[in-house]
A and B are shown apart, each in its own frame.
Chain A
Amino acid sequence: MDKAILLIDFGSTFTKVTAVDLKNPKYFVTAKGPTTVQTDINLGLHEALAELERKIGHLPKFEKRLACSSAAGGLNMIAIGLVPELTLEAAKMAALGAGAKLQTLYSYKLTKREVTEIIALKPDIILLAGGTDGGNKDVILHNGVLLAQSTIECPIVVAGNKNAQDELEDIFIKTGKEFHIADNVLPSLNKLNVEPAREKIREVFLKNIIEAKGLKKAEEYIDGIIMPTPQAVLKAGQFLSENKILNGFDKLLIADIGGATTDVHSFCKGDPKGSGVIYRGLPQPHAKRTVEGDLGLRYSLIPLAEALTGANLLDYKKEQIDSLVEDILKDIWDTQSIREEFELALAKGAVNLAVKRHSGYLEIVYTPHGTNYIQYGKDLTDIDLVIGTGGPIVNSNNPKEILKGSLFESNDSLTLKPKNPQFVLDKGYVLSAIGLLGESYPEVARGLAESNFVFL
Chain B
Amino acid sequence: MGNKAIVLGVIGADVHAVGNRILDYAFSQAGFEVINIGVLASQEEFIQAAVETGAVAILVSSLYGHGEIDCRGLREKCEEAGIGDIILYAGGNLVVGKQDWEPVKEKFLDMGFSRVYPPGTSPEESIEDLKRDLNIK
Contacts and interface: CB of A to CB of B under 8 A. Distances in A.
Interface residues of B, number: 20
Interface residues of A, number: 23
Question: Which of A131, A136, A137, A186 has most B Cβ within 10 Å?
Answer: A136
A312 interface: no
B13 A366 contact: yes
Contacts of A303: none
A135 B48 CA distance: 12
A372 B40 contact: yes
B46 to A, nearest CB: 12
A83 B52 contact: yes
A368 interface: yes
A278 B38 contact: yes
Contacts of A85: 48
A339 interface: no
Interface string A61-91: 0000000000000000000001101110000
B53 interface: yes
Given A280-B40, A369-B15, A82 B51 contact: yes
Nearest to B44: A85
B29 to A, nearest CB: 19
A82 B38 CA distance: 22
A86 B13 contact: no
Contacts of A368: 13, 64
A137 B54 contact: yes
B35 interface: yes
A10 B1 CA distance: 54
A189 B40 contact: no
A176 interface: no
Interface in B13-44: 13-15, 33, 35, 37-40
B5 interface: yes
Nearest to A374: B40
A132 B50 CA distance: 10
A365 interface: yes
Contacts of A131: 52-54
B49 interface: yes
Contacts of B37: 189
Given A83-B48, A189-B49, A372-B15, A365 B40 contact: yes
Determine the main DSSP class of B at the interface with A. mixed
A132 B33 CA distance: 12
Contacts of A137: 54
Contacts of A413: none
Nearest to A163: B54
Contact of A135 (B15, B38, B54): B54
B5 A86 contact: no
A327 B93 CA distance: 66
A257 to B, nearest CB: 35
A137 B49 CA distance: 14
A372 B49 CA distance: 23
Given A135-B5, A278-B38, A280-B40, A367 B14 contact: yes
A71 to B, nearest CB: 37
A82 B54 CA distance: 11
A366 B66 CA distance: 13
A266 B82 CA distance: 37
Interface string A128-147: 00011011110000000000
12 contacts: A82-B51, A83-B51, A86-B48, A131-B52, A132-B52, A132-B54, A134-B53, A135-B54, A189-B52, A278-B15, A368-B13, A372-B15
Interface of B: 3, 5, 13-15, 33, 35, 37-40, 45, 48-49, 51-55, 64
Given A83-B51, A132-B52, A135-B5, 20 more contacts: A83-B48, A83-B52, A86-B48, A131-B54, A134-B5, A134-B53, A134-B54, A135-B55, A136-B53, A136-B54, A137-B54, A189-B37, A189-B52, A189-B53, A278-B39, A280-B40, A365-B40, A367-B13, A369-B64, A372-B40
